[in-house]
Amino acid sequence: MSLFQAREWWGHGSAEDDTYDSGGMLVAALGSEDGSAAEDKIITGSFSGLLRVWQPSGQTTGGAATVAQDLLLEERLNAPILQLAAGRFSS
């Protein structure tokens, strides 16, 4: 008997032209625009400049681990994303 069990709860496959680095993924508790409590979100940024914000629901459709409602934001920037960070930025 094993004490630990690992299984894939959520996943997303990227397109072939998307390239990521270890600094291109962040999990952070971010609030929403309506002022509700902060919830964990997954933020990814690729070298091609694609920024995505995900809020996994754990639901599956047809065997796929990602549903359309999980994607909150997708934005194409004009520059590569080298690193992501979250927090209070003040001097």
pLDDT at position 22 is: 82
Distances 58 to 36, 49, 54, 65, 90 between C-alpha atoms, Å:
20, 27, 12, 8, 35
Tens of pLDDT, residue by residue over 31-84, are 766 666 778 888 999 998 999 998 887 665 555 555 667 888 899 999 999 999
pLDDT at position 76 is: 92
Instruction: Please state the length of the chain.
Output: 91
Where in the chain are the domains? 22-76
pLDDT at position 77 is: 92
Does the pTM of the predicted model rise above 0.85? Answer: no
What's the CA gap between 44 and 10, in Å, rounded? 14
pLDDT at position 81 is: 92
Handedness of CA 43, 26, 76, 37 (dihedral sign): positive
